[in-house]
Amino acid sequence: MRLKITRIFAIVIACAIISGCHRPHDSYNLDGLRSAIDSIAAASPGTVGVAIITPDGDTLTVNNDVKFPLMSVFKLHEAIAAAHVTDRHNQSLDSLLTIRRDEVSPDTWSPMLQDYPRGDFDISIGDLIRYMLLVSDNNASTLIFDRVVSVAHADSIIRTLDVPSSFQLRFTEREMQADHPKSYENWSSPLSCAALIKAVIADSLVSPVKQDSIRSWLSQCSSANGRMASAVAQVPDAKLYHRTGSGYVNDRGQILAVNDIGLIELPDGRQLAVAILIKDYAGTQPQADAEIATLTKIIIEHITYSSS
């Protein structure tokens, strides 16, 4: 009960810090925003990492030196790498792969298998990426790593982009499911994640058709709607491109990671990149989702209304 009261108190303080700033923005008072975020992070039963890239290109980070497990956030890295490789091979996303039944697991999160319930099947590379980004399908992710781009190659491709290289990709969903501690070996700083999703929306990383497809699928992501999506939904005409990740309980009974990274397009067209990563969370999944939603709401309100 004490923890719950402390967390609520922190949120009240955070909102108080933000309130009163209801003027059209000239620039962004990031010190005030940092204080609000720090209040919530200090009361959290997990380690909270935040990175923000403002519409002006300024950055704010909290716990950016911590290695946060990516979980399914790495499916964004994977999608970009797969698009890059198919560009180099002059392959379309419509290129078909024949999938043997023994290549997929019935014991993992895989909405794709509801559409392909029996036997071997043919599926396009684009559809595999779509299943990854829309519904975070684990089999689709493992198949892309097995058949299109290896984990090591994906890691090296993302390192060529103009984003901080404070990340690491080492294992597939299949390998993490078999040995949960391996999930800690796929990690990132918050700023690397925020910079990556900003680049996907704002820069030219792969061929236009493929990048447009990735952007579209990020805008339709339907996983973990209680996190960033619930906060953005409260802002009329705002749009969210995002990728979530969470899962597994460590040997201390903590949720290994609860994450959301997004590019928020505000109603006036300004773009705000946000990464919120939570590590080793001792509360429940809905509580962690609510923390991400609260942080997102505070960030949006601050950027929308603050001025120096």
Q: Residue 39, class by beta-carbon neighbours within 10 Å (0-12 exposed, 13-18 middle, 19+ buried)?
A: buried
Mean pLDDT of the chain: 91
How many domains, the chain?
Answer: 1
Find all residues with CB under 8 Å of 275, minimum gap 6, and list them: 49, 50, 51, 190, 191, 193, 194, 197, 259, 260, 261, 262
Q: Whole-angstrom Cα distance, residue 40 to residue 299?
A: 12
Q: How confident is the model at residue 173 (pLDDT cuts 50, 70, 90)?
A: very high
Task: Kindly state the percentage of the chain with pLDDT values over 90.
Answer: 88
Token couple for 215 = 């952007």
Token match 């994977």: residue? 78
What number is the average pLDDT over the span 277-295? 97
Alpha carbon distance 236, 234 (integer Å): 6
CATH number where 207 lies:
3.40.710.10
pLDDT at residue 10 in the model: 45
Phi and psi (nearest 5°) for 244? -110, 170
What tens digit of pLDDT does each residue of 26-57 get? 478 899 999 999 999 999 999 999 999 999 99
CA distance 211 to 129: 12
Question: Which residue, chain included where needed, has tokens 């919120």?
Answer: 276
Candidates 82, 96, 26; CA nearest to 56 is: 26
The Cα–Cα gap between 274 and 242 comes to 9
Q: Annotate 70-135 with DSSP letters as a single string.
A: -GGGHHHHHHHHHHHHHHHTT--TT-EEEEPGGGS-TTS--THHHHS-SS-EEEEHHHHHHHHHHH
Cα–Cα nearest to 53, from 273, 263, 261, 241: 273
Domain that holds residue 83: 2-305
How many percent of the chain have pLDDT more than 70? 91
| 50 close to 62: Cβ distance less than 8 angstroms | yes
**What's the confidence (pLDDT) of residue 9?**
40
Residues 67-77 pLDDT 10s: 999 999 999 99
Question: Catalytic one among 39, 44, 72, 136?
Answer: 72
Q: Is 72 one of the annotated active-site residues of the chain?
A: yes
Q: What is the pLDDT of residue 269?
A: 94
Q: How confident is the model at residue 11 (pLDDT cuts 50, 70, 90)?
A: very low
**What is the radius of gyration, based on Cα positions, of the chain?**
19
Q: What is the pTM of this model?
A: 0.90
